[in-house]
Amino acid sequence: MTRFDSALDVAAAIRAKEVSPLEVLDHYLARVDELDPQLNAFSLRDDERARAEAKAAADRLAGTSVDELPPFLGVPIPIKDLNAVAGWPTSYGSMAVPDTPEERDDPVVERFREAGFVLMGKTTTPEFGTISMTESERHGRTRNPWNTVHTPGGSSGGAGAAVAAGMAPIAHASYGGGSIRIPASCNGLVGLKPSRNRIPNRAQKMVAASTSGVVTRTVADSAVALDVMSVLDRGAWNVAPPPERPYREEVGAAPGRLRIRISESNALGIPIDAACSAAVRRAADLLADLGHEVIDEPPAWPDPSQFLSGFLTIWSTIAAGIPGLDPEKMEPHNKANWDAAQATSSIAFTEAELLLQELSRELIAQFDPEAGGVDVLVTPTMAVEPPKVGSIWEGMDEEPGAPLVNATPMAAYTAMFNVTGQPAISLPLHVSDSGLPVGVQFAAGPWQEATLIRLASQLENAAPWADRWPNITA
């Protein structure tokens, strides 16, 4: 076993009894001991509890038929510090939140436990997950293992850094504007954002734009993890339609000849770096070589001013509902969000929600091949290479909202699909001249995760990235 094995490879080694769950856990914890002092990817460790879970996995392995074992028995996974794990506090990356242990797991954490994962701790996030770089007053700055001068992205930056550095084989990720795909792009990983309401949660805010997922090394890991997470929640107000078959069966399945649109433009009109343009051009050539119909023209994006107006109104409410929150201890940019939300009427909030629904219809209508639309839209994942650590705070002394503005080029291509609820995946198809990963985003029509998994698997076979990992040491 190496530190860059996929989660499914680790699971297979455990099932074959080539290595024990405790040996696996200790392998990764040693890597955390070695590298996390410089990367700062973990906000909480509970090695004793993790070892108890690994021992329980070993006992289950000894007493259960292989065919009856869950898919990820004994595989370590960290949980992002925006989600509840019973017995651990959820800090939300904030000084404004008390260290109160949670009484119960979030639904996605329950699914992880049922799948056999060993919970190895929590990963860093910016305060409330509101910006695309993982830096907070509470936990400090998280760094990119490819080059520690640069950010691993956010808000699941700790998750991305942990997997890229080999401190975990897979990591939970989440949230509402690109926080799965952005760290996947920054760290050379696979990041699949599922469709709206595909992944259960107890209650949803932000018009259900937020979701959980994982960052992984392989398409197969993401597909099987999606099977784990997407159990039907009969208590939810809204649910996504079930897939025709398990997502694991889509890995390696022929995608057919897809109608694919390529776009370097984005909904916000943000210019893109040369490396991001090169990444999407390379993807276009690869798709054409694979026999797909490639249309090199942008979609009709919604009006950017309308989109931003509606999105920011919803985004300002992101801290709502957090227990024990003390607004006076928030970081300035989030306090500005809080104050804006407090000043927004229920009428204005509802109007923003309705506007985003109408804008979503305009974009989704273009994903219908039978009506002249496309199966998939391909864009850069981000408009920029991973920025330098600390750069997101420039100008905040003059304008508290500057970090959100500074983060916009990182989320210019991703946030739209959180709003529309469409599935989208970032694949590590490119490395810039500076040696930093550059992801390419693939978005499909509503509930078409299967299409994305088939296509991503085809691309992974055609342009493998398995041997491309950061050479980081203590």
Alpha helix (H) residue ranges in 16-88: 21-39, 47-63
Q: What pLDDT digit, counting tens, does each position of 90-118 carry?
A: 999 999 999 999 999 999 999 999 999 99
437: helix, strand or coil:
strand
Out of 94, 179, 263, 360, pick the active-site residue: 179
**Predicted pLDDT at 176:** 87
**Predicted pLDDT at 92:** 98
Q: What pLDDT digit, counting tens, does each position of 118-144 carry?
A: 999 999 999 999 999 999 999 999 999
Out of 94, 132, 155, 210, pick the active-site residue: 155
Mean pLDDT value of segment 448-460: 98
For residue 216, give the H/E element and its range. Answer: strand 212-216
Q: pLDDT tier at 255 (50, 70, 90 boundaries)?
A: very high
Q: Does pLDDT of 232 surpass 90?
A: no
Active site (annotated) includes residue 179: yes
Token reading at 363: 């974009």
Contacts of residue 283, defined as CB under 8 A and 6 or more positions apart, other chains included, come to 262, 378, 429, 430, 440, 459
**Predicted pLDDT at 35:** 98
Burial label, 387 (beta-carbon count in 10 A; 0-12, 13-18, 19+): buried
Q: Does pLDDT of 12 surpass 90?
A: yes
58: helix, strand or coil:
helix
The percent of residues in the chain predicted with pLDDT above 70, rounded, is 100
Domain spans in the chain, listed from the N-terminal domain onward: 7-462
Q: Does pLDDT of 3 surpass 80?
A: no
**Predicted pLDDT at 237:** 87
Q: What pLDDT digit, counting tens, does each position of 259-282 carry?
A: 999 999 999 999 999 999 999 999
**Closest of 168, 239, 327 to residue 156, by C-alpha:** 168
Paired sense of beta strands 424-431 and 437-444, if any: antiparallel
Token reading at 140: 């400090």
Measured at the CA of 364, the angle between CA 361 and CA 369, to 5 degrees, comes to 135
Active site (annotated) includes residue 155: yes
174: helix, strand or coil:
strand
**Distance between CA 31 and CA 102 in Å, rounded?**
27
Token reading at 403: 């970090």
Mean pLDDT value of segment 32-61: 98
Q: What is the DSSP letter of 100?
A: P
Q: pLDDT tier at 201 (50, 70, 90 boundaries)?
A: confident
Q: What pLDDT digit, counting tens, does each position of 405-444 carry?
A: 999 999 999 999 999 999 999 999 999 999 999 999 999 9
Out of 80, 94, 263, 316, pick the active-site residue: 80
**Closest of 445, 11, 450 to residue 196, by C-alpha:** 445
Active site (annotated) includes residue 80: yes
CATH of 7-462, one of 2.40.50.140, 3.90.550.10, 3.30.365.10, 3.90.1300.10: 3.90.1300.10
**Predicted pLDDT at 175:** 78
Q: What pLDDT digit, counting tens, does each position of 282-301 carry?
A: 999 999 999 999 999 999 99
Contact 294, 272 (CB under 8 A): no
Strand partners, 193: 424
Q: What pLDDT digit, counting tens, does each position of 329-387 carry?
A: 999 999 999 999 999 999 999 999 999 999 999 999 999 988 899 999 999 999 999 99
Q: Does pLDDT of 466 surpass 80?
A: yes
Contact 172, 129 (CB under 8 A): no
Mean pLDDT value of segment 304-325: 94
**Closest of 311, 432, 454, 430 to residue 379, by C-alpha:** 430
